[in-house]
Amino acid sequence: MKWAGLLLAVMMVVGLLSGCGGSSKETLNIYSWADNFDMDVIKDFEKQYNVKVKYDVFANNEDLLAKIKAGGNGYDLIQPSDYMVEMMIKQDLLAPLDMNNIPNFENIADVYKNPTFDPGNKYSIVYMSGVTGIAYNKKYVKDEIDSWEDLWNPAYKGKVILLDDNREVIGMALKKAGHSNSSKDEGEITAAVNDLKTLLPSVLAFDTDNIKQKMIQEEGWIATVWSGDASFIAKDNPDIGFVIPKEGSTIFADNYAIPKNANHKELAEKFINFMLEPEVSAKNYESIGYSDPNTKSAPFHSAEYNADKMINLTDEEMSRTEWLSDIGSQVSLYDRFWTELKSGRE
């Protein structure tokens, strides 16, 4: 029976090891994805403004919404994605931004200003953006890839990976058929889903988070991938190509926004403004590796970053993109179809 004592001892020691400290400085409570900033940049901000930054994390937009809606509070700055900004505005969960505190907003590229999900940037500013495209491994995929149709090629059976997200996947099938990625038309949606059902036997996995590892390791040959992730993959596996299909695609962004009940709204705005300084911006995006929406930061970026075609998409490619918009009550239809697709049942 000795192990009783052992175990208790372990638990006790482990408990004692943990101490805690407090500080009286003004605190900015950020609620975002983990590792979403370059940590040095945050330290610079703390020093420059003599404040403390606390950083808590969520794993996806829906978790964030459910938590804020059910009464989770105390956060000063959150980073919802595009469609979630729209949703949160509709639910009256966000505070309007005071642009007087964010003069650097003018540094943002025009493509990212005045987005459909938040006309006039009343509540949000784009932080990190990308476009969904097709990543493929040239070792196995010899044909030229330029269309969503190529995913259906029987040669890639069992080697196709799709994003694990109903709006992305159904939106892709809608685009393929020439519709809006946020169609509310039941006929269009049904046709798109039926089309996807013919793709199912080819699908190796649905995955959003670990699609990078799967492509690097060549588990999949061809996949729907976000542009920033494609750049990641290509760095570890030089055989990877990336294309924005000719039918057009979905553009997405994570944004800065401030919850309605934030305690340190002005500090949050100062933080946004700080992050939009060209030099800070360059340092930050260099580290996190996604597209920098800042027009003045290019001179501060490395040559490698500026040459990366997956991070710096052309105007022509950008012109073929569309934001996802809220689909209102059709969300039930999307969800049902998605359940059918994933479970293989009807």
Partner 1 sequence: MKSKNHPLLGIHSLLMMIFIYIPIIIIIVYSFNSSRLAADWSGFTFDWYLSLFENSYVMEALTNTLIVAVVSTVVSTLLGTMSALAMRKTTKKIKAGMGGLLYLPIIIPDIIMGLSLLMLFSQFHIPLGRLTIIIAHITFSISYVHVVVSTRLTGMKDGLEEAAQDLGAGAWQTFRFVTMPQILPGIISGAIIAFTMSLDDFMVSFFVSGPNSTTLPIYIYGQVKRGISPEINALCTILIIVSVTLILLAQFILNKGKGQKKQSVLPF
Partner 2 sequence: MRKSNLSLLPVFLWLFLFLLLPMLMVVGISFMDRDELGNVVYHFNLDSYATFFDPLYLGIYWDTIVLSVLTTAICLLLSYPLAYYIANASPRMQTWGLVMITIPFWINFLIRTYAWVLLLRTQGVVNSLLINWGLIQEPLQMLYTKGAVLLGMVYTFVPFMVLPIYVALEQMDKKLLEAASDLGATPWRSFWHITLPQTKSGIMTGAVLVYVSTTGMFVVTDILGGAKSAMISNIIQSQFLGARNWPFGSALSVIFVITSLIMIALFNRAMTSRHLKVKEGR
> Which one among 166, 249, 284, 321 touches partner 2, defined by CB under 8 A?
166
Count of residues interacting with partner 1 (CB under 8 A)? 52
**Joined tokens for residue 257:** 């926004």
Site string for partner 1, 62-91 (x = CB under 8 A): -x--xx--xxxxxx----------------
Beta-bridge partners for 52: 27
What is d(CA 39, CA 41) in angstroms, rounded to the nearest whole number?
5
Does position 260 interact with partner 1 (CB under 8 A)? The reply is no
Q: How far apart, in whole angstroms, are the C-alpha atoms of residue 288 and residue 42?
A: 13
Q: How far is the CB of 37 from partner 2 (least distance, A)?
A: 22
Angle, vertex CA 160, rays to CA 214 and CA 185, nearest 5:
120
From partner 2, partner 1, none, interface partner of 177 (C-beta below 5 to 8 A by class): none
Q: Does 155 bind partner 2 (CB under 8 A)?
A: no
Which residues, at least 6 apart from 68, have a Cβ–Cβ distance to it below 8 Å? 78, 88, 93, 259
User: Cα-atom radius of gyration of the chain, to the nearest Å?
Assistant: 22
Helix axes 278-288, 39-49, angle to 10 degrees: 150
Residue 187: enclosing H or E segment and its boundaries?
A: helix 186-199
Q: Does 15 bind partner 1 (CB under 8 A)?
A: yes
Number of amino acids touching partner 2 (CB under 8 A):
41
Q: How far is the CB of 137 from partner 2 (least distance, A)?
A: 13
Nearest 5°: the CA angle 346, 338, 321 is: 145
Residue with tokens 């300084």: 277
Contacts with partner 1, 181-220, as mask; x by CB under 8 A: ---------------------------xxx-xx--xx---
Quick note: the x/- pattern for partner 1 over 235-254, rule CB under 8 A, is -x------------------
What binding mask, one character per residue, do residues 77-116 give for partner 2 by CB under 8 A, x or -? ----------x--xx-------------------------
Sort strands 222-226 and 124-137 into parallel, antiparallel or unpaired. Answer: antiparallel
Three-state DSSP class for residue 72: coil
**By CB under 8 A, what part of segment 207-246 binds partner 2?**
207, 210, 213-214, 217-219
Whole-angstrom Cα distance, residue 344 to residue 168?
19
Residue type, position 312, single letter: N
Nearer to partner 2, 35 or 98 (CB): 35
Least CB distance from residue 325 to partner 1, whole Å? Answer: 22
Residue with tokens 């208790």: 8
The site partner of 153 among partner 2, partner 1, none (C-beta below 5 to 8 Å per kind) is none
Q: Cβ 100 to partner 1, closest distance in Å?
A: 26
CA atoms in the 13 A half-sphere facing the CB of 146: 3
303 binds, among partner 1, partner 2, none (CB under 5 to 8 A by kind): none
Closer residue to partner 1, CB minimum distance, 149 or 335:
335
Binder among 3, 144, 303, 346 for partner 1 (CB under 8 A): 3
